[in-house]
Amino acid sequence: MKIEAGMAAYVTGGGSGIGRGMAMSFARRGVRVGVCDISEADAAETVRLIEAEGGAARAIRVDVSDRVSVEDAVSAVETAFGPIAIACNNAGIAMHGVPLHEISAADWDWVIGVNIHGVINGIQAIVPRMLAAGRPAHIVNTASIGGFQVNPNFLTGAYSMTKYAVVALSEGLRNELEGRNIGISILAPAAVDTKIHLSERSRPERLGGATVRPQNHFMGDLIKGQMQPAEIGERVANAIEADEFYIFTHPETKQWLDRRHAAIDAAFESAERFGSAATAAAAE
């Protein structure tokens, strides 16, 4: 899809990090951006940066884990700027540094609520509107390289679980919307210099309220000085125009997926050997 001036975009998590990078890249192309974030102050700062460059944007508070909040945010974007042509279900939180069996029920609800239900809520609010509008459109769902493999060096199983779900949701959505003039992309970055390790500061009250999770904070050191959100924003804008489904950002991480795929191939070879042996035994 060609990104054209005057289009409207909906970007969750737009108040900082990758969401801000995408919002600003779209705005530089003349897109009018609904900057949606649970932090109104962060969303307003992104809008300020966009307007300082001559772009158009509006700050909208959204809790993506709340379906009504998402519906309201989508309606607010369309009221301000017209039918949404680009939708980025990008808001996400970290859930690192704690073994799976030790994660509290409240934290499970939170990470699933934001990282999975946030995408589901976006899909259900936006896709019917895009279909009704009948115009070229594109949806970007932010997963992670962690949605394709689980890093053995960090306790990120809960986070990766949610990002695997985003991959499956996106692959299913692509199948269902084939031929309907709505492109789908999965954004799968690795280390990006954001504040995702501090996401617990924005935990909504109904899921326990703001807190401090020091277990996340090792990630801050790992991602500091890594790829910048602005670069991710440009990568996404170009990928939308090229109709890329998988948007990878760190080529060096391919080896991580290669290792996983090699293990899967070996497992199928084992299944073939077992089947052959069973057939031979039955023939005796």
Catalytic residue set: 159
Place of tokens 């997926």: 257
CB 77 within 8 A of CB 36: yes
Query: CA-to-CA distance for 114 and 108, rounded, in angstroms?
Result: 10
Place of tokens 């009250």: 205
Look up residue 42 and give its two tokens.
């962060």
As to burial, measured by CB atoms within 10 angstroms (0-12 exposed, 13-18 middle, 19+ buried), residue 220 is middle
Task: Return the C-alpha torsion angle 187, 220, 93, 87, nearest 10.
Answer: -30
Query: CA-to-CA distance for 97 and 107, rounded, in angstroms?
Result: 13
First to last CA, the chain: 60
